[in-house]
């Protein structure tokens, strides 16, 4: 998979811009604040309909504008497509199109372009909040699994409705028996989402261990594990030990606590993807170097996973991360760049890639929201 061309209109600090990319390694150079990251954000937005910065859509429009548009020509397994995604701040709505045809549901647009994004903010994944790690899994799975995307959307709605029912019951506006239909829906969706996350984590874990072993050279063992709040008091859960009935039973066991809190205390929204060092929690014991090794290994494992699932290599977006990695970790990233992956890399120094033994296919400079090849 590759991005052949991107067109921007009123996006961030870009007024109107058309950028062509090489099918291999593209190096985008410029000073901080000139628009390098905005260019990667636009590509990520086309893939996921969201900003990797978790920004609101209205904040992505150029100052003084109430709309923006991002379009691209992509090539995937020999098929050319033109993707178009625009946002209208007045209507507070996104509009998508594929090769000139409107897409009525955004869920049918997500995943047409697959990307792996690695930015300096990702280095906080190890010691950051569980929500960031859950978001990593959701972004990955939504791109390659349409069923997962639909399940997640349905779960978000049912979770909100169940929480409201809990609050109404606590106030005496509903009977306790009124919660049962929500419990059944919640359990079904929570089970299916958790199963998919567990399956993905098992595959990620194998690649992650191999990649981090290469960096560590046997000094310590890094691993990732999915910890769930469903049906397991210690957080350990296997694919074979989970079913819908066990989720319903756990909901009933936690019912009093949920009523007291006014929200659902278990479910995929409470789960975590944890990093371990020699079996110990990385958030408590990882050094800065170990954190970088873990996140780099996770991103490269994500790249491999998406390629295996889709049969096509995703586009790799690297936002000024070379300067954040030491020599051994940069070399691991360089090995990935030598594969058949299209990479779009940003940096402040044109020598950054050459110093790593990588010659980019194309170098472009960004100055005040304009791209100069």
Domains of the chain: 1-114+314-373 (3.40.50.300), 121-311 (1.20.1050.90)
Q: Across residues 143-153, what is the average pLDDT?
A: 97
> Which residues does residue 371 pair with via DSSP β-bridges, in sequence order?
366
Q: Is 40 left (phi over 0), alpha (psi -120 to 50) or beta?
A: alpha
219 within 8 A of 289, measured Cβ to Cβ: no
Q: Which residue has the higher pLDDT, 44 or 54?
A: 44
* Burial class of residue 34 in the structure, from the number of CB atoms within 10 Å of its CB (0-12 exposed, 13-18 middle, 19+ buried): buried
Q: Which residues contact 153 (CB under 8 A, 6 or more apart)?
A: 107
Asked if residue 45 has pLDDT above 90, the reply is yes
* Burial class of residue 324 in the structure, from the number of CB atoms within 10 Å of its CB (0-12 exposed, 13-18 middle, 19+ buried): middle
Asked if residue 240 has pLDDT above 90, the reply is no
Q: Which of 76-80, 157-161, 327-331, 332-336 has the highest mean pLDDT?
A: 157-161
Q: Across residues 202-210, what is the average pLDDT?
A: 95
Q: For residue 33, what are the CA distances in angstroms to 37, 38, 131, 164?
A: 8, 9, 28, 43
Asked if residue 236 has pLDDT above 80, the reply is no
The proportion of the chain whose per-residue pLDDT surpasses 90, expressed as a percent, equals 84
pLDDT, mean over the chain: 93
Reported confidence tier of residue 301, pLDDT bands at 50, 70, 90 = very high
Asked if residue 241 has pLDDT above 70, the reply is no
- Helix (H/G/I), strand (E/B), else coil: 252: helix
Q: What is the pLDDT of residue 239?
A: 62
Q: How far apart are CA 310 and CA 99, in angstroms?
A: 21
Q: What is the pLDDT of residue 78?
A: 85
Q: Which residues contact 368 (CB under 8 A, 6 or more apart)?
A: 13, 34, 35
Q: What is the pLDDT of residue 214?
A: 87
Q: What is the pLDDT of residue 274?
A: 94
Pairing of strands 315-319, 115-118: parallel
Q: Across residues 297-320, what is the average pLDDT?
A: 96
Q: How far apart are CA 366 and CA 361, in angstroms?
A: 17
Q: What is the pLDDT of residue 215?
A: 83
34 within 8 A of 370, measured Cβ to Cβ: no
């Amino acid at each position: 998979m590759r991005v052949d061309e991107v067109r921007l209109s009123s996006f961030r600090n870009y007024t109107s811009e058309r950028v062509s990319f090489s099918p291999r390694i593209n190096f985008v150079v410029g000073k901080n604040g000139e628009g390098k990251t905005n260019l990667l954000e636009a590509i990520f937005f086309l893939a996921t309909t969201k900003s990797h910065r978790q920004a609101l859509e209205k904040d992505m429009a150029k100052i003084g504008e109430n709309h923006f548009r991002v379009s691209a020509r992509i090539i995937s397994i020999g098929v050319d497509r033109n993707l178009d995604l625009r946002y209208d701040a007045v209507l507070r709505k996104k509009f998508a199109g594929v090769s000139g045809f409107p897409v009525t549901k955004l869920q049918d647009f997500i995943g047409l372009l697959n990307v792996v994004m690695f930015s300096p903010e990702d280095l906080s994944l190890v010691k950051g909040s569980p929500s960031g790690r859950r978001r990593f899994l959701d972004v990955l799975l939504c791109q390659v699994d349409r069923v997962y995307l639909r399940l997640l959307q349905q779960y978000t709605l049912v979770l909100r409705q169940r929480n409201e029912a809990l609050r109404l019951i606590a106030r005496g506006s509903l009977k306790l028996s009124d919660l049962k239909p929500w419990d059944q829906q919640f359990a079904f969706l929570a089970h299916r989402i958790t199963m998919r996350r567990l399956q993905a984590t098992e595959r990620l874990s194998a690649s992650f261990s191999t990649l981090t072993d290469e960096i560590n050279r046997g000094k310590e063992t890094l691993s990732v594990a999915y910890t769930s709040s469903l049906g397991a008091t210690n957080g350990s859960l296997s694919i074979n030990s989970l079913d819908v009935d066990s989720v319903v039973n756990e909901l009933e066991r936690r019912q009093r606590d949920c009523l007291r809190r006014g929200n659902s205390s278990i479910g995929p929204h409470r789960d975590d993807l944890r990093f371990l060092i020699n079996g110990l929690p990385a958030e408590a014991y990882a050094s800065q170097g170990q954190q970088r090794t873990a996140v780099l290994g996770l991103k490269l494992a994500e790249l491999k996973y998406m390629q295996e699932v889709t049969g096509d290599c995703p586009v790799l977006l690297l936002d000024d991360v070379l300067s954040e990695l030491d020599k051994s970790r940069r070399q691991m990233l360089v090995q990935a760049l030598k594969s058949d992956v299209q990479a779009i890399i940003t940096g402040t120094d044109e020598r950054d890639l050459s110093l790593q033994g990588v010659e980019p296919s194309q170098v472009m400079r960004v100055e005040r929201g304009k791209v100069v090849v």
